Chain A
Amino acid sequence: MLDQKQHIKLPEGSIEKDTTTLNLGPTHPATHGVFQNILEIDGERIVSAVSTVGYIHRAFEKIAERRPYYQITPLTDRLNYCSAPINNMGWLLTVEKLLGIETPKRVDYLRVIIMELARIADHLICSSVMGVDTGALTGFVYVMTYRELIYEIYEEICGSRLTTNIGRIGGFERNFTPAAFAKIERFLNEYPAVLKEFETLLTRNRIFMERTQGVGAITAERALSYGFTGPNLRAAGVDYDVRVANPYSSYQDFDFSIPVGTTGDSYDRFQVRNAEMWESLSIIRQAMDKVKSLPADVFHADVPAYYLPEKQDVYTKMEALIYHFKIVMGEADMLPGEVYNAVEGANGELGFYLISDGGRSPYRLHFRRPCFIYYQAYAELVQGSMLSDAIVCMSSLNLIAGELDA
């Protein structure tokens, strides 16, 4: 016989109140990551939300204070792991800025190719997951094939897929192989048709439009106040893009436009991301053309003090051996300085604030993670909306737990 007595101790006043407390997350399948939101709901309507973050905090900033610079690149992989190469490049560009390293044009263009592929991979996930959250699994499964192809391209270049550790200070660890170029060509040839088909599945789909239009809308003014950047800010109608505002890695050589939305709702965010994928495709195509006209054996800057020499040189040449030893032991001479460098990550301005005292590791390294900054607007965005809209709003913001918590 079960004891009739109530064993669960509930907080004072939780029976009498009119609203229900609902824990959305931290391990809810619809939150696509470890986020907790304590929602106060009245029927289906959200009265208030409190967001809790930090479930996968790994103290990267602290770890970076004991690591030589080249060992920090793998840490940046794990920020926004849907577009790890952009983080890698952002970090390498920061170090290169500190050291005053000028990279050759071919390196810049190859980096642009990789970064834009990463942007497509990231937007692809976000846009298709929005479809999943509104009940359309087809598009997600369909485009996943092409994320796979992008990962194969990464693999061809650096040997790994998700956390890439791609690139080195001054360039790439090795040249792009003909197979890598062939795969990029294949992607450029096949993906436009797929993206077009994906868009026809959702863009003018009545159900999708009803579910996303007006959901999680934010005005340009509030978006700026909340520190929005990237597609989420552009969906609200502000044309701020780091690639254009402060070009890095020779983005000024490319011809592309910045799509902006008007209402700042989930539908506009979806549209902006899709339009950005078309722009990225165009940038990759331009970069492929530019790369063809440049000497094919250049894949890193001539900075022997920071770039690992060829292995056979290490065995035969004194200087190469010294540099090799110093770089591997993390004893390459770093300059003191204070530098902030930002790149346009897949979901906003990804900044690196680096203070170097000339030692083997940074004195202080801070990541400006766009997710962390705009996620605080979530409570305001979902207030007054339905529970199911809160899910769509969350996936349209493209929250990546790794970047949120660092």
Chain B
Amino acid sequence: MSLTNERIQQRLTEKFGDVLTGFEEPFGLLTLTAQKDYNLKVMQFLFDDEELRFRFLTDITAVHYPDRKNEELAVVYHLHNLQDNIRLRLKVFTPVAKPDVFTATQLYASANWMERETYDFYGINFVGHPNLIRVLNVDEMTYFPMRKEFPLEDSMRIDKDDEMFGRGGNL
């Protein structure tokens, strides 16, 4: 029997209950949000469970939402069950003031550099990571460049007024 999104959701809610929220399926990919302290427990369960078998880590990345109070940074995991060929997206939100998230390096060897990259660009502190240093940027860098407070272009430019395109406001 092939695994379905409904079945995964059912198994996860049985096990974790209120810890997991925000179940949705954008473009058929099951997406869910876990409470910050539970990211590793959820991933461990997804990995160990004989039915779910999410044993391939496709990707780790982060997203910055400056407007969300106390959950400015989202860490996004893409997991893959290769046997049943089904993917899952797990999100964890963390405040930008204290961006501590547990590391997944014990589960997946590939998480090492992915987490270093996420730290490098967003400053997520992966608790328990064996070697959390910058990977792509120079070691001397003192900020986390992918955060939204670092715009790419001069925001004082006036030749790109969004009012001209019916959008209004400062985009």
Contacts and interface: CB of A to CB of B under 8 A. Distances in A.
Contacts of B89: 340
Given A331-B165, A359-B171, A66 B153 contact: yes
A103 B61 CA distance: 30
Contacts of B32: none
Nearest to B134: A54
Given A66-B152, A222-B109, A368 B145 contact: no
B145 A373 contact: no
A337 interface: yes
Contacts of A240: 82
Contacts of A155: none
Nearest to A57: B136
Interface residues of B, number: 39
A53 B114 contact: no
Interface stretch (A110-118, A300-308, A311-319, A348-356): A348-356
Contacts of B153: 66
B63 interface: yes
Interface string A217-232: 0000010111100000
Interface residues of A, number: 44
A54 B137 CA distance: 6
Nearest 7 CB-CB pairs, A to B?
A227-B110, A54-B136, A66-B152, A366-B61, A57-B136, A225-B109, A376-B113
Interface of B: 26-27, 29, 31, 55-59, 61, 63-64, 76, 78, 82, 85, 87, 89, 108-110, 112-114, 117, 121, 134-138, 145-146, 150-153, 165, 171
18 contacts: A57-B136, A61-B146, A62-B145, A62-B152, A97-B27, A226-B109, A227-B57, A227-B114, A238-B82, A351-B58, A359-B171, A363-B63, A364-B61, A364-B64, A368-B59, A372-B117, A373-B110, A376-B109
Interface of A: 53-54, 57, 59, 61-63, 65-66, 97, 222, 224-227, 238, 240, 245-246, 329, 331, 337-340, 342, 349, 351, 353, 355, 359-360, 363-364, 366, 368, 372-377, 405-406
